[in-house]
Structures are given as structure tokens and as C-alpha cells.
Amino acid sequence: MKQLKALILAAATLVMAQAYAATDVQAEKIRERIAPAGEVCVGAECGGLAVVAGEPRTGEEVYNTACTACHGVGILGAPKNGDTAAWDDRLAKGMDATLKNALSGINAMPPMGNCATCSDDEILNAIKYMSGR
């Protein structure tokens, strides 16, 4: 009887140890999943002009990194990428005025589309890309 109890206890301990091991692995997986995809650094802090230097990124590049989250599916009324009719409405007031709204933000559209590393030219490129101009 005593032996049986010890056996049951040992088995239970094993099962529990495995459960802990599993949660450790899961926790690690979760940490990997929620880890930031990249780090943004500007200027001397990251050893140079990393993000700011060089040619302006293309509209497609900027769109894919900074605009697609909202303009891909049209969140909160954002004109969708490639929806030329929606973009024609927006651009009826002129590219300059539209760009200005994108730079300073309008309603649910955050200033610069939240792209801290984008130049004005890169925002313009992204607008041209999304509107097919």
C-alpha cells in the first residue's frame, strides 16, 4: 500500500513537472510572438544616420511598413490601397492639401500615419502608390 502511494505521488509529480515544462515553453513562445518586430532608432544613438540617410523609400515600401495596417482594409474609413474612386474623392482638393492632411493628421488618420521615420517625400510616395498616381 505504501509503495502504491509513493508510486502515485511520483507519477503525480512527474505530470506536474511536465505541465510546468509545457508552460515554460509556451511562455517563451508568447514572449517571441509579442516581441517587437524591430527597433526604431534615429541618428547617433544607433551608430549613424541609419534610418534617415539614403534615398527616399518607394511608395510601396512605405505603404507596406507604415500604411497597410489601416489602408489595407480601410479601417475607420481610411481610403483603401488601390481604391482609385475613393482616392479620387480625396485628391479632388489637390495633392498638396491631401499631403498636408497626411502630414498633420485628420480625424482617425494619425500625423504621418504614425511613421516616425518617414520624410514628407516618403509620405507623398505612399499616397501616390495607394492612389495609383
Contact between 106 and ligand HEC per CB under 6 A: yes
Number of shown-chain residues binding ligand HEC (CB under 6 A): 27
CA 6 to each of CA 1, 14, 20, 110: distance values in angstroms, whole numbers, following the listed order: 9, 12, 21, 64
115: its cell numbers:
511613421
The amino acid that residue 119 corresponds to is: S
62: its cell numbers:
512605405
Contact between 86 and ligand HEC per CB under 6 A: no
**Least distance (Å) from ligand HEC to the CB of residue 34?**
20
Question: Which range binds ligand HEC by CB under 6 A, 2-10, 33-41, 47-55, 68-76?
Answer: 68-76
**Least distance (Å) from ligand HEC to the CB of residue 24?**
36
Q: Phi/psi class of residue 132: alpha, beta or left (left: φ > 0; alpha: ψ in -120 to 50)?
A: left
**Least distance (Å) from ligand HEC to the CB of residue 20?**
40
Contact between 127 and ligand HEC per CB under 6 A: yes
Contact between 81 and ligand HEC per CB under 6 A: no
Contact between 78 and ligand HEC per CB under 6 A: yes
What is the widest separation between alpha-carbon atoms in the chain? Answer: 88
**CA distance linking residue 46 with residue 51, whole number of Å:** 9
- The neighbour count for residue 47, using CB atoms within 10 Å, is 8
- Residues within the interface to ligand HEC (CB under 6 A): 62, 66-67, 69-71, 75-79, 90, 98, 101-102, 106-110, 113-115, 118, 123, 126-127
